[in-house]
Each structure stands twice: as structure tokens, then as C-alpha cells.
Amino acid sequence: MKEEHTHKNAKKYGMVIDLDKCTGCGACMVACMAENNVSFRKDETDRLKSITWMRVYKITNGKSFPDTDICYIPRPCMHCEGKGHGAPCTSVCPATATDYSHETGIVSQIYTRCFGCRYCMAACPYHARYFNWWDPVWPEGMERSLSPNVSPRMRGVVEKCSFCFHRYQLAMDKAFAEGGRELEEHEYQTSCTQACPAGAITFGDLNNPEHAVHKMVQPDNEHGGRPKNPKAFRLLERLGTNPKVYYLSTRKWVRQMGDNYLEKELKAVR
Amino acid sequence: MDSALIPKGLKRCSFGAYAFWLVVAGIVLLWGVYAMFLCWFKGLNQTNMNDYYGFALWIWADLAVIALGGGAFFTGFLRYIVGKDELKNIINYAVIIGFICYSSALLILAIDVGQPLRSWFIFWHANVHSMLTEVAFCLSCYFCVLTIEYLPIILENRKIDEVPFFHNLGHNMHEIMAVFAATGAFLSFFHQGSLGGVAGVLFGRPFSYREGVLIWPWTFFLFTWSAAAYGPCFTMTVTKLTEWISGKKLVKQNVYELLAKISGWMIGTYIIAKIVDTLYWAFVTAPSMGMTFMEFFTNNADYGLGILFVEIVLGGIVPAAILLTEKGRKNSFLFVVAIILGVIGVSVNRWVMVLQVMAVPTLPWEPWHLYSPSWQEVATTILPVAYGVILLMVSFRYLPVFPQEKELNS
């Protein structure tokens, strides 16, 4: 059945991460792995082969003491909307195993349909997609602690952050049972949001002016969701990916690190 | 021992020598098959690919063999559609080489995907917006066309031809070959192009992204053009190699020169388009994404300007200059140098459009990520080469591939 793209109450779930608050503790990564049954191996030292739906990068301003400064950048899937051509990853998947939902703004991944060509990984500039190079194996007994709401992924398929989509489904089930009412802001929150001890992550509907995320970044939908808040930015915005994860920082060098700029353009960065 | 199977009037090496080299190629093939089964049963953890290098050696090999196999569709197009009759003397070999290249590409893809048993999903759940979907459809269809084109050559085997049904079948298939040549050219235009589109549409990757016309990035047209240009170089290289190994003249010089001249024009025009494309990308596309041209060629150990020089100058301008001049085409040394440089040029282009795309950092704080293949990847890439050698050996020995061979060696 053809999907109708003109929902009056279409949501656009997104995330705002305040980089000035992030301490790089990694609680969001741990919570994400536990919530989403992300598999791991005994030796996780090869970060190019370990699965981290939420990954915290550490960047520095490159200056020496006493001017040195660091910043931690948590990076989930950006759930890009793209501009006309869809997200970088959804438009290239040959088997329609990943799709952009115009109802929620979430980029889905159908594990049982993915046949592991990895074209989506090549397309994603954020490296937010991960391939299951090995069979998922948990230490004996630990499989009993897996979440029943999230299917574990098999070897040979791609996986990524889903904005804890199962939580959305559970919240929607409840709302439907209660007369089909709209979701409250607090009813659907991602695990990383709730786990962050510094309160650096905020999650909600970017289309809803009442939601904190909307107030924080003031997305300009006339211009592809660009933030009106001068302290907000999106990673690699210039590529036209139109991501739904926004970052806040009062530090200019951090905002400059959010995208690639020519030397002459750096001064113009807000 | 097998003389009854060898075409009448043609001389071949002793069966012992033939069997020896067949066994050598067979051992290499078995090594590749072993690695292939390791990848299938243990998974792609047998490779050195990683989450930054989802596309690596195999995808390069795929793109390269399909470009090199482009000699089949382009020679067929020239022979049957344009009417270059002399090319009937090399078309059989072009078809066999094309068949090997395309079957190899399909085999490599079957190893490369994480869930090979789900490969049919690409047809069942096809995403019409994906370049890879177009590749899968056209590649499969064109492989069927190549099989149909190869069949009448097999039916010409001395013993098979003795059966009236096969004789008539082969004859009738030859009669309608123009239809398949036209179909092959049509399909090739799209799958060669869509392979270029695979990299060109990646708007998240400034190194490979290109603007274009409607839904097709410029790489779509460049890949089709380059396959038509360089494919015949590979056909001629393999033919020359076969002549050298067998010690026989197989194709007349005028046939080589005709194909070389056309190839020269194609390479010449392609390389102009490629230079224009590179300049536009360097001065307009990449800067609009915040990157300078030199950022793509510095701060890493593998990719410097040298690779651009090899691709465009050594693999493009030099072979075009040689093949476009009568002196160059007639000088056997320069001729061989040109067609080999052509093969290298297009292979480097495909390497760059796969491997370098993955290596260039996209996030501003990330370093380059370089990659070297595991032995399993190397073995499975050599596997189709060994398979190709075996199929060429069998075809050359038992089928009348070269119509001029008898006359040239009498």
C-alpha cells in the first residue's frame, strides 16, 4: 500500500545533545547496548569492528596547555531526512531494508530483509551503521537478560541506532489502548537520553513547539531543519543529509569542528 | 588423446602439457574455493573489511572485471550494429572474455554479501531508487545474454557440431545474434553506468559525489564510456597473451588496428570528459562541501597525486595518444604498451572510486582509514582469474574461436 506523506500530525523525532554538559562518561553507550541487545566480543579493542550504535568521540582544539580544550561528541544515527533524495543510506539500499518514516522521522532497519551488501554503510558519512562480522554470542546466562522487545541481529546484516523504536511502539500501543490519544513527551524517550547523568541529551518531536528539543534548537523547516539557535549545529550539515540530531555548544571551535570548512569560511561560522 | 575434439586443421600443444597447466590453474582455483567456503561458513570476519571499509577489494574486483569485460558488448555493438565486419574475427574471444568477467563478478558478489542466501531479495524487494538494484537487474540479464552468445561458439565444437540438432541450433543462433548484441549493448549501457552511479550518488562522500543529469551523476556516463573505451584494450591484451603463449598468430593486424583505433578515440574522448569532471569536482563540488582538492590526496600513506597521474596520464592520455596515431598502432611494442596501460588505467579508476572513497575521512576530526586485504580476500579475488584461465584454455583448445587462425598459421 502506498504510504501517504501528508500526515497532519506527522512527528519528526530528533535529539539535541548539549556538548558543554557531556562529560564523556559513556553511560549513553552502555545503556544503548543493554537496551538494544547489541552484541559484543571478548576483545573489543578494534573499534572499526565493534558495534556501538551510540559512540562517543573525543575531540580536542589542538592547542597545547594551558589553552587546550576537549569535547566529547556522542554520535547516534542521525536519522537523516535528506533533501529530496532521502537519507544517504535509505536511497541506496537495493532491497528496501532501510527506510525513512514520514510519520516519525525515524530511519528504520529491517534486519531480516538486509542481505548484507553494506552499500548503506558506504553511504553514511557518520559511520553510524555497523555490520555483524560475527555471530552474536553472549556470555553464558547473559542471553536471559536480553530485552524481549528488540530482536538480536544475525551475522551478515547491518544494524544501527533506531532511536529505541520499540519504546515508541510500546508507547503507541498504550496510547492506542487509551483511546488513540497523542503521545506525551515523556512517554517516548530513548535509553541514552534517560541514562545520561549530566542531562546532556534531550529527545522529542522537533515538529512540536511544546517539546524541549524544538525550543532548544528552533528548527527552521523552511530551510531543511537548520537550527535558528546560533549555538546549535548539526554534523556535516553542508552535505545535505538534513540530520535530526542537533548539538549545542557555546564554544566556537566545537561548532567549527561540526563540519568541513575551507580556511576562508571558518570565520563565518556562527 | 583428445585430438578428435580439437577443431580440424588447428594445431594445439600436447595433451600432457595442456593437462599440466590445467592442474596448475586448478590448484590456484581450489585455493580460492577454500577461501570462498571459509567466508561462507565462518562469515566475513575472514576479511580485513571493517565498518569504515564496507566496500573493499571485492567490490573493486567487481567493478574492474565488469569494465574490462566491456569489450564484449562494445565489440558486439561495433560488429553487429555499426557493421564493422572485420571484428567478426575477434568477437568470439571478446564474448568468452566477457562471459568470464561477468560470471566472475556474480561469483564475487555472492561471496561479498553477508547473507548470500538472501541475495534474491534484491529482486523481490527491489528499491528502484538504488543504483545497486539497477546493477543487479542489468548484470543478471546481460549475463544471460552473454551465455546465449557463448552457446553457439560451444556448439561449433567438432563433436557437438556432428549432431544435426546442435548444428542447426548453432547456425540459427548465429543468424539472430544481432538482436542479442543490441540487447547486450542496451543492458550494458545501464549496468556499466549504474556501477558508476553507485559511487556518484553518495552525497555523504565528497570524494565520490558528482552532480549530473536528472537522476544520473556524471560518473554514470563516465563509467559507461570508459568500459566501452577500455574493454577492447583488455580483449586485445588477452588475445595478444594467447598468441604469445600458444606461439600462433590468431588475429590479423588490420583487425587489431581497427579495434585499437576505435578504442583510442573512445579513450581520448573519455579522458577529456574525465579531466573536465575532475576539474569541476575539484573547483566546485568539493569546495561546496567544505573540502579542498588536496585534502583528498594528502595526510595519508597510500593516496597521493601519483594515483591521479597513473589514472589520467599513464592510463588515459598516453594510451589514447598511442592508439590514435597510425605509427603507434603499427608499432607492436607501443601497441602492447598502450593496451596494457589502458587496462591499468581503468582498473585504477575503479580502485579509486571504491577504495579511496572509503579511505577519505568525512568527519572533520577523523584520520584516513587505510586497508589491506586478508589472504582470504586475495584468494577469492584470484579464484575468478584461475577460473577464467581454465575456461579460456578449454575454449581455445576445443572451439574454433579465431576464424583467421588456420589461414594465419598455414
Query: Domains of chain A: which residue ranges?
Result: 13-259
> Who among B129, B203, B365 is closest to A240 (CB)?
B203
User: What is the mean predicted confidence (pLDDT) over B212-233?
Assistant: 94
pLDDT at residue A1 in the model: 43
Task: Give the mean pLDDT of chain B.
Answer: 94
CB pairs under 8 A between A and B: 165
Indicate the DSSP class of residue A56.
E
- What would the pLDDT profile of B257-302 be if each residue is shown by its tens digit? 999 999 999 999 999 999 999 999 999 999 999 999 999 999 999 9
Name which of A49, A73, A118, A154 to mutate to probe chain B: the one with the most chain B Cβ atoms within 10 A of its Cβ. A118
| Interface check A106 vs B, CB under 8 A | no
Instruction: Dump pLDDT digits (tens) for A108-147.
Output: 999 999 999 999 999 999 999 999 999 999 999 998 999 9
B393 pLDDT more than 60: yes
User: How confident is the model over B73-94, as pLDDT tens digits?
Assistant: 999 999 999 999 999 999 999 9
> What pLDDT shows up at residue A2?
47
Backbone angles phi, psi at A249, to 5 degrees: -160, 140
Domain residues for the domain of B331 are 15-403
Q: Which of A118, A155, A265 sits opposite B43 (nearest CB)?
A: A155
Contacts 24+ apart (CB under 8 A), B178-181: B178/B80, B178/B81, B180/B76, B180/B145, B180/B148, B180/B149, B181/B73, B181/B76, B181/B77, B181/B79, B181/B80, B181/B81, B181/B149
Angstrom distance (rounded) from CA B48 to CA A119:
17
Say yes or no for a CB contact (<8 Å) between B202 and A122: yes
Nearest to B51 among A48, A239, A240 (CB): A48
Is the confidence at residue A42, as pLDDT, over 70?
yes
Residue B58's pLDDT band (boundaries 50, 70, 90)? very high
- The answer on pLDDT for A4 being more than 60 is no
Q: Which residues in A lie closer than 8 A to residue B54 (C-beta atoms)?
A: 118-119, 121-122, 129, 131
Dihedral, A168, A172, A175, A181 alpha carbons, nearest 10: 100
Crossing angle between the packed helical segments B88-112 and B375-398, to the nearest 10 degrees? 150
How close is the nearest chain A Cα to the Cα of B42, in Å?
8
Which residue in this structure is represented by grid cell 584461475? B386
Mean pLDDT of A212-226: 92
Q: Kindly report the nearest CA distance between residue A262 and chain B, in angstroms.
A: 5
Local confidence band at A6 (pLDDT 50, 70, 90 cut-offs): very low
Residue written as grid cell 562529560: A23
Average pLDDT over chain A reads 93
Q: Is residue B97 part of a domain?
A: yes
The domain over range A13-259 is classified in CATH as 3.30.70.20: yes
Q: Is A125–B363 a contact, with Cβ atoms under 8 angstroms apart?
A: yes
Q: What are the pLDDT digits (tens) for B34-49?
A: 999 999 999 999 999 9
How far is Cα A248 from Cα A194, in angstroms, rounded to an integer? 18
For residue A5, pLDDT over 50 is answered with no
Q: Is A181 on the interface with B (CB under 8 A)?
A: no
A56 touching B (Cβ < 8 Å): no
Inter-chain residue contact A57 with B363, CB threshold 8 Å: yes
For residue B223, give the nearest of B353, B56, B76 by alpha carbon: B353
Q: What is the CATH number of the domain that holds B94?
A: 1.20.1630.10
- ipTM more than 0.85? yes
Partners of A60 in the beta sheet? A70
pLDDT tens-digit series, residues B347-377: 999 999 999 999 999 999 999 999 999 999 9
Alpha carbons B349 and B54: distance in angstroms, whole number? 19
Residue A8's pLDDT is what? 56
CA B97 to CA B74: how far, in whole Å? 12
Residue A53 contacts B, CB cutoff 8 Å: no
The pLDDT of residue A247: 98
Residues of chain A in contact with residue B44, where contact means CB-CB under 8 angstroms, are 116, 131, 133, 156
So what's the pLDDT on residue B2? 86
What's the number of domains chain B is made of? 1
Is residue A3 predicted with pLDDT exceeding 70?
no
Per-residue confidence at A83, pLDDT binned at 50, 70, 90?
Answer: confident
The whole-number average pLDDT for the span A244-257 is: 96
B9: in domain: no
- 8 Å CB contact of A49 and B127: no
Q: Would the CB atoms of B51 and A131 count as touching at under 8 Å? A: yes
Please give the span between the terminal C-alpha atoms of chain A, in angstroms, as a whole number: 44
CB half-sphere exposure, A105, CA atoms < 13 A: 22
User: How far from B143 is each of B104, B127, B155, B227, CA to CA, in Å?
Assistant: 10, 21, 18, 16
- pLDDT tens-digit profile of B308-318? 999 999 999 99
Q: Please report the pLDDT score of residue B410 as a whole number.
A: 81
Compute the nearest-CA separation of B359 from chain A (Å).
10
- Please list every residue in chain B whose beta carbon sits closer than 8 Å to the beta carbon of residue A91: 127, 129-130, 201
Contact A48 B131 (CB under 8 A): no
| B353 within some domain | yes
Out of B129, B201, B290, name the one closest to residue A260 (CB): B290
- pTM for the full model? 0.93
C-alpha distances out from residue B320 to B192, B236, B244, Å: 21, 15, 24
Cβ distance of B122 and A259 shorter than 8 Å: no
Could you tell me if residue B6 is inside a domain?
Answer: no
> pLDDT, tens digit, for every residue of B174-220?
888 889 988 988 888 888 999 999 999 999 999 999 999 888 999 99
Residue B250 lies in a domain: yes
- Average pLDDT for residues A240-268, to the nearest whole number? 93
Over range B91-115, report the average pLDDT.
95
pLDDT bin (cut points 50, 70, 90) of residue A222 is confident
